[in-house]
Amino acid sequence: MKESILVSLIQNIATLLAFTLIYDYSWLKTESTTYLRKTISGIIIGAIGILLMLTPWTYITGVVFDTRSILLSVSGLFFGAIPTLIAILITSLFRIFLGGGGIYMGVTVIIFSGVIGIAWGYVRPNWKEKKHRAELFSMGVLVHLMMLVSTVLLPQGHTLETLKNIIIPALLLYPAGTMFLGMLMLKQLQNWKNQKAQEKLLESERRFTELLEDVNLLSQIIDKDGNITFCNDHLLMVTGYKREEVIGKNWFDLFLPPSQKEYFRNGFNRIIKGELHQTHLEDQILTKDGNLLTISWYSAILRDSDKGITGTASIGENITEKKIAEEEKLKLANILDASQNEIYLSDAKTFKFKYLNHGALKNLGYTFEESLQLTPLDITADEGKDKLIKTLESWEKRNETVSSATFEAKNKRADGSTYPVEINIQLFEYPTESYYLAMVQDITKRKVIDNQLLEAKRKAEESDKLKSIFLANMSHEIRTPLNAIVGFSNLLTDFEPSQEDKKQYTSIINTSSDRLLQIINDIIDISKLDAKQMKIKKAECNLLEVVSNSINTFQKSELLQSKPNVSLISKLNDNTKPVRIHTDKNRLQQVLDNLISNGIKYTEEGFIEVGLKIHEKHAEIYIKDTGIGIPKDKHDIVFERFRQIDEEVFHEGAGIGLSICKGIIDLLGGKISFTSESKKGSTFVIEIPLD
Ligand code: ADP
């Protein structure tokens, strides 16, 4: 080989190396894909092509050889179409400018080399993956076969001569050169890619570490033995440890309360073995001061390049206060639920319920979910709705943030029934929303007691009035016989009356004394009954005898004799055999006397009939009259003390006889009742148990 050929070969190689540097610096590193950049790259490649053509080795004058075919084909493969086509243009123009016999072949080789390189990239896009050396060599062979073929374009007679000279280097040396240049470029590409990946890795690692360091969360990395290899400042701050007290220590020994240590360590071991996939968990850790904190952890598994698990990285949130707040809320809700009162909370804007406590739901008969669809108006009985609306509207007008009102209303249950309530309702803001809070008390019981009190008050007032009437009556009742006694006693002593008058006066004095005694006895009886002091002396007696005694007494009485149109009829005739009962016969007699006396007293015409009926378990005595009767509306009061049917009009009697009768019959274990019709008469019935 001639010395000049060697020099040009070295120069060519140096130039091609420069080409690889351009690939590295101007192409790979700038990374952008603008046309400008592609154009500039094309111009630079073209310039390198010119440099190559300036240092050729010459076989024969006008026929020069250089490595532009290698340059352009590799350019096509690595730079793509635009830069390579520009380079083809520049080098072709330069070749034409150089002139000489090889001009056609030269230009043809330039075009073929570039185009084959570009085409190879398109046709075999995966050429880099496997057997890239073979790919590059094959492309080199193809390019330079084309070079051999294009020797036909040389001036006549030169073809064979040239072929003979270049066939060996063209098929071995040039493809090998193409291959080496391609490999060099590929290496650079690979390096660049690695570097990129490395940079990315470093960047993401830096970001990750920053994140772990900076967040207001606890972060830590634990190796597969549970030892802490990393922790952030926040973790140190929260737990109160210094970094050197934490790094290298076993996480479970350092932070977990003894009772939980084994449980969590087992879980961790299973994660490390790949048996358990858990990315979130909550646990309690101990601070240096021994306080318990609740932490919510999110963990990721760390692996080495062989995919083996090396530990875990975790981020944790200190949710201790959240937990406490939740528990407090729960406690509060329980307290509200336990309250006897009904508690309602509704949104002041939509008016819809936000919360009803257990008591409210139970009383109203709704479920919690149902209640959320309701407003206070849905559970207020119709008559209370207006009141509620007016109250709330007046608040709205005044635009006050805190208002409250208490009123009585009626609530309506799910089933439509109602119950009286006292509502204390308040408007308040929390924190920016407005709510109505109502404390509602079921006042059904209170209402009953209120009514009872009112009734008692009415009765007390009434009995006060009755007492006055009674006293007035009494004084009249007492004074009448007393006056008679005093008056006729005087007559007896002061004026010596005739025998006949004497008899009459004495009789009046006797009757009046009896009357007075009767009144005094009645008063004593009623007070005894009142004080539950009335003594009952039960003994064996014949009921028939008791009743006929009473009838006989009244048959002969002046009371009956004073009423010529009234007769007293005994209906005892049927019952001839004695009726044995165990009772207080004097008290029973007293009752019968009273009833028969009333019958005569309130009858002006007709009869009073007294009879006895014996039933299986009781005896029934009836006293029937054809007198003035008792109007229906007074039936309820006849057994009440001091009551007389015609309270405005005085007549004999103090209005306590029947109430004594009832008291006595009650004590004897019997019953007293009556039927009566105004102006037709009355029938009083006594039932006495037989034993
Ligand atoms: P009094 O001493 O006034 O008769 P009582 O307690 O015996 O008092 O009776 C209460 C009232 O019931 C009487 O005032 C009378 O108006 C009415 N009454 C009682 N018995 C009869 C009767 N047989 N017929 C009509 N009214 C009666």
pLDDT averaged over the chain? 87
Q: How many residues does the chain have?
A: 691
Tell me the CA distances in angstroms from 389 to 380, 381, 382, 383, 392, one per residue in order: 11, 13, 11, 11, 5
Ranking 124-138, 151-165, 389-403, 556-570 by mean pLDDT, the lowest is 389-403
Q: Which atom of ligand 1 is nearest to the CA of 594?
A: 7
What's the CA gap between 38 and 44, in Å, rounded?
10
Q: Which atom of ligand 1 is nearest to the CA of 623?
A: 23
Pocket (CB within 6 angstroms of ligand 1): 598-599, 602, 625, 627-630, 638, 643-645, 653-659, 682
Q: Which atom of ligand 1 is nearest to the CA of 681?
A: 24
Q: Which atom of ligand 1 is nearest to the CA of 684?
A: 23
Contact by Cβ (8 Å): 375, 346: yes
Distance from Cα 624 to the centre of ligand 1, integer Å: 13
Distance from Cα 467 to the centre of ligand 1, integer Å: 17
Pick the residue whose CA is nearest to atom 4 on ligand 1.
Answer: 653
First to last CA, the chain: 161
Q: Is the pLDDT of residue 1 over 50?
A: no
Query: Higher model confidence: residue 130 or residue 365?
Result: 365
Quick one: which of 144, 124, 146 has its CA closest to 135? 124
To 10 degrees, the CA torsion angle through 19, 24, 25, 27? 90
What would the pLDDT profile of 153-203 be if each residue is shown by its tens digit? 888 888 888 888 788 878 888 898 899 989 988 888 888 888 888 888 888
Q: Which atom of ligand 1 is nearest to the CA of 625?
A: 23
Q: Is the pLDDT of residue 137 over 50?
A: yes
What's the CA gap between 57 and 550, in Å, rounded?
173
Q: What mean pLDDT is predicted for residues 557-586?
A: 88
Distance from Cα 648 to the centre of ligand 1, integer Å: 14
Q: Which atom of ligand 1 is nearest to the CA of 628?
A: 25
What's the CA gap between 412 and 421, in Å, rounded?
10
The residue to mutate among 638, 643, 679, having the most atoms of ligand 1 within 8 angstroms of its beta carbon, is 638
Place of tokens 């400018």: 97
CA angle 45, 50, 54 (to 5 degrees): 145
Query: Higher model confidence: residue 394 or residue 516?
Result: 516
Q: Is the pLDDT of residue 57 over 60?
A: yes
Distance from Cα 654 to the centre of ligand 1, integer Å: 9
Q: Give me the pLDDT at residue 650, please.
A: 43
Q: Which atom of ligand 1 is nearest to the CA of 643?
A: 10
Q: Give me the pLDDT at residue 432, please.
A: 81
404 strand-pairing partners: 426
What would the pLDDT profile of 270-316 be if each residue is shown by its tens digit? 999 988 888 898 999 999 999 999 999 999 899 887 888 999 999 99
Quick one: which of 607, 587, 615, 593 has its CA closest to 691? 615
Phi, psi dihedral angles at 653 (to 5 degrees) = 110, 150
Ranking 87-101, 470-484, 526-540 by mean pLDDT, the lowest is 470-484
Distance from Cα 638 to the centre of ligand 1, integer Å: 7
Pairing of strands 218-223, 228-231: antiparallel
pTM: 0.41
Pick the residue whose CA is nearest to atom 16 on ligand 1.
Answer: 645
Distance from Cα 473 to the centre of ligand 1, integer Å: 14
Contact by Cβ (8 Å): 409, 384: yes
Q: Which atom of ligand 1 is nearest to the CA of 655?
A: 8
For residue 94 the two structure tokens come to 């330069």
Q: Is the pLDDT of residue 119 over 50?
A: yes
What's the CA gap between 640 and 654, in Å, rounded?
12
Q: Is the pLDDT of residue 64 over 80?
A: no
Pick the residue whose CA is nearest to atom 2 on ligand 1.
Answer: 653
Q: How confident is the model at residue 658 (pLDDT cuts 50, 70, 90)?
A: very high
The residue to mutate among 529, 563, 598, 642, having the most atoms of ligand 1 within 8 angstroms of its beta carbon, is 598
What would the pLDDT profile of 527-555 be if each residue is shown by its tens digit? 888 888 888 999 999 999 999 999 999 99
Residue 131: how many other CB atoms lie within 10 Å: 11
The residue to mutate among 658, 678, 684, having the most atoms of ligand 1 within 8 angstroms of its beta carbon, is 658
Q: Is the pLDDT of residue 127 over 90?
A: no
Distance from Cα 570 to the centre of ligand 1, integer Å: 21
For residue 344 the two structure tokens come to 């309602």
CA atoms within 13 A on the CB side of 618: 13
CA angle 683, 686, 687 (to 5 degrees): 135
What's the CA gap between 605 and 600, in Å, rounded?
9
Tell me the CA distances in angstroms from 18 to 51, 70, 346, one per residue in order: 11, 14, 82
Q: Give me the pLDDT at residue 399, please.
A: 63
What would the pLDDT profile of 213-229 be if each residue is shown by its tens digit? 777 889 999 999 999 99
* Cβ contacts of 565 within 8 Å, gap of 6 or more: 604, 605, 606
What would the pLDDT profile of 329-369 be if each residue is shown by its tens digit? 888 888 888 887 899 999 988 889 999 999 899 999 999 99
